[in-house]
C-alpha cells in the first residue's frame, strides 16, 4: 500500500536524498521517495501506520528539525523560524562580547563554545548523525571548518563561518518556501464540497461522494466541484486557475463546464459527466504532483555527482593541506587553506538551484494552463526545431456543421443524413457527431458493423449493405460518402471553423525559428487552404495515422527534433514517438493525454508557443546558476589557495552564491511568456 505525507524542514536536496536512502533501509518499507521541492514523502508498506512511526523516529535522529505530518496545516513553521532567529541572535551577541571584551581564559572558552553551539547546533548534530550512518555531506564540511578554525586560534573566523552559514540557510529556506507556496497554489484547486440535489433539496457532501449523472448546484463564490453540463442558469466563471486566462467565461444551459473554476455570479445546476477521480481538477493535480518524478538530464546529472562530490571535496582538501604544509612548512597555514577549500566547495548552490529552477518552470507552465509531465520534457521543449499539427480539433474547433447534402438516387437530404447517421451513431469522430446532431428523430440499430481502416465502416440496414465514410481520395472538400450495395447514393459536405488562436500560434512559432507543418487526412486542397490561412510552412494531406507516424520518424532520422500536437485516439502513436507530444484539452481522449508529454488544458494552440518560451527561459536560468556557482567557487578557491582570500569570503562563495542562485531560480516562476505580445498590442 502506498502512502504519502508532507515533510518540511529539510535544508537541501542532499539532506533529502540521504534521508530517503536510510528510510529505504528500514524493515517493511520499499520505494520511499522524497521530493525536496514539493516537500512530499511517498513510501510503500503493508503496515503504513507502523512504517510511518519508524520513519518519524529515524527522521528525528538524522534531521532533528524536520517534521512529518499527514493532515491539516503544519503550524510549527513560523514557531521554528522564530526560535532559530532568537538562537542565532543570542549566539551572535555572545560572540561579539567575547571578541571585543577582555576576560579570563576559562570564561572566554565557555562563551566561545556556547556561542558556537547556539549558532550551529543543528549543523553539528546533523553532521554527527549522518557520519554515524556513513554519510558525508556539507554539514560535516562546515563542522570541520569551525573546529579547525578553533584549533588554529582563528576564533572570529570560526564563529563567522557558522553564523553566516546558518543565516544563509534561513534565507535559503525562506526563498525556497516562497517558491513552494507559489507552486502549491496550483494544486489547491480541489473543491471541499458539492451541493447535490436529493429529493428536490440541496445537501452538502464531499465531491468524491457524488455519482456520475447526479445533479449539483453551484452558487456565486463557490468552486465547481465536478465536470458536467449546465442544466439551468447562466453565470460567469473564473477559469484562471485552470487555463491561466484572467478573463471570465460565460456558461449557460447546454454548455460543458469544468471543475476547478469559480462561479462569479448567479447560480447554476449541473449534471455531472465525471466522478471526482476522473474530473479535470483530479487530472491536473495528478499531473502537477507527479511532474517532478521525470527529471531532466541536467537535473539527474547534478543529483548523481553530488552523492560523491562531498567525499571528493574532503579528499582534495586533505591534498591541499598536505601540499601547502610541504611547501610552507607551516601546519596552521596549511590547515587554514584546507578549511577554506572545504567551505567554498559545499555543493548547495548546484543541488538546490537546479531542481528549483525546473520546478519553478513547471509551476509557471501549470499556472498558465500547460501541464508538463516532468523537467525532462521541459528541456525537450526548449530543443524543438519543428512542430507538426493535426488539423481537426487542434487548429480547428473540431465542431463541424453540414454545408451541403447531395443525393444521387432520389432520396431526400434528410434521408441521406439519416442513413449516414445510422452508421456513425457509435463513433466519437467530430464528423460523425456533426451528422448525428443534424439527424432528426431516434436512430435505429444496424447490424454487421465492420470498420474499414482509414476509410469508414460497413453496416447492414433493412437487408441492404451500406458504406459510410470516404472512398474517393480526389474529393477536394471534407466529405462523407454514402454507398448502397457498392453504389454511391449520396454525400455530405461539412466545414470546420479555424480557431482564432491558430494563426497567432503559428506566427509565433515561426518567429522564434521553429518550422510548422500540418499533417491531415483531408484532401490536399482543403489542407493547403488551412495552411495558407494560418501561416503554416508545410502541409501534408490524405495521411493515415500510420503515415503521420512515419513522417515524424523520418524527421527524427534526419536529426530533427519534432513536436506533435493532436487530440484524438489515433494521434496517440505520433504523440508517443515525437520528441515532445502535446495533447489538446484536459477532457480530450484519455489515450492522447496518456501518450502526450504536455497537456494543454484549454485547447489553445498558442499555449504550445508559451510552453516552448517557458522551457527556453528555464533552461537559460539553470545554466546561469551552474555557470555562476562554478565560476565563483573556482575563483575563490584559486584566491584561497594563494592566500589572498580568507574563510569569510569562502562562506560568501558558498552561502551567498547559493542564495543568489535560489533567487534567480524563482524568476522562472514569475516569467510571463506573453509579455512581448502584450506590449506590442498596447503599442
Catalytic (active-site) positions:
390
Residue 195 CB partners (closer than 8 Å, separation 6+): 202, 203, 204, 216, 217, 218, 219, 222
Burial label, 80 (beta-carbon count in 10 A; 0-12, 13-18, 19+): middle
Q: What is the largest CA-CA distance in the chain?
A: 117
DSSP summary character for residue 653: I
Q: What is the C-alpha to C-alpha distance for residues 509 and 513, in angstroms, rounded to an integer?
A: 7
Report how far apart, in Å, the C-alpha atoms of 649 and of each of 130, 186, 229, 230, 321 are: 27, 39, 63, 64, 19
Torsion of CA 468, 472, 475, 480, to 10 degrees: 0
Q: What is the C-alpha to C-alpha distance for residues 611 and 583, in angstroms, rounded to an integer?
A: 13
Q: Tell me the torsion sign for CA atoms 517, 520, 522, 523.
A: positive
Chain-centroid distance, C-alpha 177: 17
DSSP summary character for residue 223: B
Question: Which is nearest to 175 in space by CA: 672, 631, 628, 669?
Answer: 669
**Alpha helices per DSSP H over 257-392:** 280-290, 297-328, 331-344, 348-367, 375-382
Report how far apart, in Å, the C-alpha atoms of 319 and of each of 30, 125, 627 are: 40, 27, 25
Q: How many CA atoms lie within 13 A of 644 on its CB side?
A: 6
Q: What is the C-alpha to C-alpha distance for residues 37 and 177, in angstroms, rounded to an integer?
A: 9
According to DSSP, the residues that pair with 406 across neighbouring strands are 491
Coil/strand/helix, residue 530: helix
Coil/strand/helix, residue 475: coil
Q: Helix 606-641 vs helix 348-367: angle between axes, to the nearest 10 degrees?
A: 170
Coil/strand/helix, residue 453: coil
Amino acid at each position: 500500500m502506498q502512502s504519502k505525507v508532507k515533510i518540511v524542514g529539510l535544508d537541501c536536496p542532499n539532506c533529502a536524498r540521504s534521508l530517503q536512502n536510510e528510510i529505504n533501509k528500514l524493515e517493511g518499507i520499499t520505494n520511499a521517495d522524497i521530493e525536496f521541492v514539493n516537500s512530499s514523502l511517498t513510501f510503500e508498506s503493508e503496515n503504513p501506520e507502523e512504517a510511518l512511526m519508524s520513519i518519524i523516529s529515524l527522521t528525528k535522529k538524522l534531521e532533528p528539525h524536520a517534521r512529518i505530518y499527514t493532515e491539516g496545516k503544519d503550524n510549527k513553521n513560523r514557531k521554528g523560524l522564530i526560535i532559530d532567529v532568537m538562537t542565532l541572535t543570542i549566539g551572535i551577541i555572545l560572540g561579539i562580547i567575547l571578541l571585543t571584551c577582555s576576560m579570563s581564559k576559562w570564561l572566554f572558552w565557555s562563551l566561545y563554545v556556547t556561542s558556537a553551539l547556539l549558532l550551529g547546533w543543528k549543523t553539528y548534530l546533523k553532521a554527527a548523525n549522518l557520519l554515524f550512518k556513513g554519510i558525508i555531506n556539507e554539514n560535516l564540511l562546515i563542522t570541520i571548518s569551525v573546529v579547525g578554525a578553533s584549533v588554529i586560534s582563528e576564533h572570529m573566523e570560526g564563529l563567522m563561518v557558522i553564523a553566516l552559514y546558518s543565516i544563509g540557510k534561513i534565507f535559503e529556506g525562506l526563498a525556497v518556501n516562497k517558491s513552494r507556496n507559489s507552486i502549491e497554489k496550483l494544486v489547491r484547486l480541489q473543491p471541499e464540497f458539492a451541493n447535490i440535489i436529493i429529493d428536490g433539496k440541496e445537501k452538502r457532501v464531499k465531491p468524491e461522494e457524488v455519482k456520475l449523472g447526479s445533479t449539483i448546484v453551484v452558487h456565486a463564490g463557490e468552486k465547481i466541484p465536478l465536470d458536467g453540463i449546465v442544466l439551468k442558469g447562466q453565470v460567469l466563471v473564473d477559469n484562471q486557475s485552470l487555463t491561466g486566462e484572467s478573463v471570465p467565461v460565460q456558461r449557460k444551459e447546454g454548455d460543458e463546464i469544468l471543475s476547478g473554476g469559480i462561479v462569479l455570479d448567479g447560480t447554476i445546476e449541473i449534471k455531472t459527466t465525471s466522478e471526482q477521480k476522473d474530473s479535470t481538477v483530479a487530472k491536473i493535480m495528478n499531473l502537477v504532483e507527479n511532474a517532478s518524478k521525470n527529471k531532466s538530464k541536467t537535473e539527474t546529472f547534478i543529483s548523481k555527482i553530488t552523492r560523491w562530490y562531498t567525499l571528493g571535496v574532503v579528499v582534495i582538501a586533505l591534498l591541499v593541506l598536505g601540499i601547502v604544509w610541504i611547501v610552507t612548512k607551516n601546519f596552521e597555514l596549511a590547515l587554514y587553506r584546507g578549511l577554506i577549500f572545504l567551505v567554498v566547495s559545499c555543493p548547495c548552490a548546484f543541488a538546490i538551484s537546479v531542481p528549483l529552477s525546473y520546478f519553478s518552470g513547471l509551476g509557471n507552465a501549470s499556472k498558465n494552463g500547460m501541464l508538463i509531465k516532468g523537467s525532462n520534457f521541459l528541456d525537450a521543449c526548449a530543443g524543438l526545431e519543428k512542430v507538426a499539427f493535426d488539423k481537426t480539433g487542434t487548429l480547428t474547433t473540431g465542431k463541424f456543421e453540414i454545408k451541403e447534402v447531395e443525393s444521387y438516387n432520389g432520396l431526400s437530404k434528410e434521408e441521406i443524413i439519416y442513413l449516414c447517421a445510422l452508421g456513425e451513431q457509435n463513433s466519437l469522430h467530430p464528423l460523425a457527431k456533426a451528422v448525428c446532431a443534424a439527424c432528426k428523430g431516434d436512430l435505429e440499430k444496424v447490424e454487421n458493423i465492420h470498420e474499414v481502416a482509414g476509410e469508414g465502416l460497413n453496416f447492414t440496414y433493412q437487408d441492404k449493405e451500406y458504406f459510410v465514410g470516404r472512398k474517393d481520395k480526389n474529393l477536394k472538400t471534407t466529405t462523407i460518402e454514402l454507398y448502397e450495395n457498392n453504389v454511391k447514393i449520396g454525400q455530405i459536405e461539412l466545414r470546420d471553423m479555424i480557431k482564432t488562436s491558430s494563426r497567432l500560434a503559428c506566427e509565433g512559432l515561426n518567429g522564434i525559428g521553429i518550422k510548422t507543418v500540418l499533417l491531415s487526412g483531408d484532401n490536399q486542397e482543403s489542407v493547403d487552404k488551412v495552411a495558407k490561412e494560418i501561416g503554416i510552412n508545410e502541409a501534408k494531406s490524405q495521411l493515415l495515422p500510420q503515415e503521420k507516424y512515419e513522417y515524424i520518424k523520418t524527421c527524427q532520422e534526419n536529426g530533427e527534433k519534432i513536436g506533435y500536437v493532436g487530440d484524438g485516439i489515433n494521434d496517440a502513436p505520433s504523440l508517443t514517438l515525437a520528441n515532445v507530444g502535446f495533447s489538446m484539452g484536459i477532457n480530450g481522449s484519455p489515450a492522447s493525454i496518456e501518450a502526450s508529454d504536455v497537456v494543454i488544458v484549454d485547447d489553445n494552440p498558442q499555449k504550445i508557443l508559451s510552453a516552448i518560451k517557458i522551457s527556453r527561459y528555464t533552461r537559460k536560468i539553470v545554466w546561469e546558476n551552474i555557470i555562476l556557482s562554478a565560476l565563483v567557487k573556482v575563483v575563490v578557491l584559486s584566491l584561497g589557495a594563494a592566500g589572498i582570500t580568507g574563510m569569510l569570503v569562502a562562506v560568501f562563495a558558498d552561502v551567498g552564491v547559493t542564495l543568489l542562485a535560489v533567487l534567480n531560480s524563482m524568476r522562472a516562476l514569475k516569467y510571463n511568456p506573453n509579455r512581448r505580445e502584450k506590449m506590442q498590442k498596447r503599442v
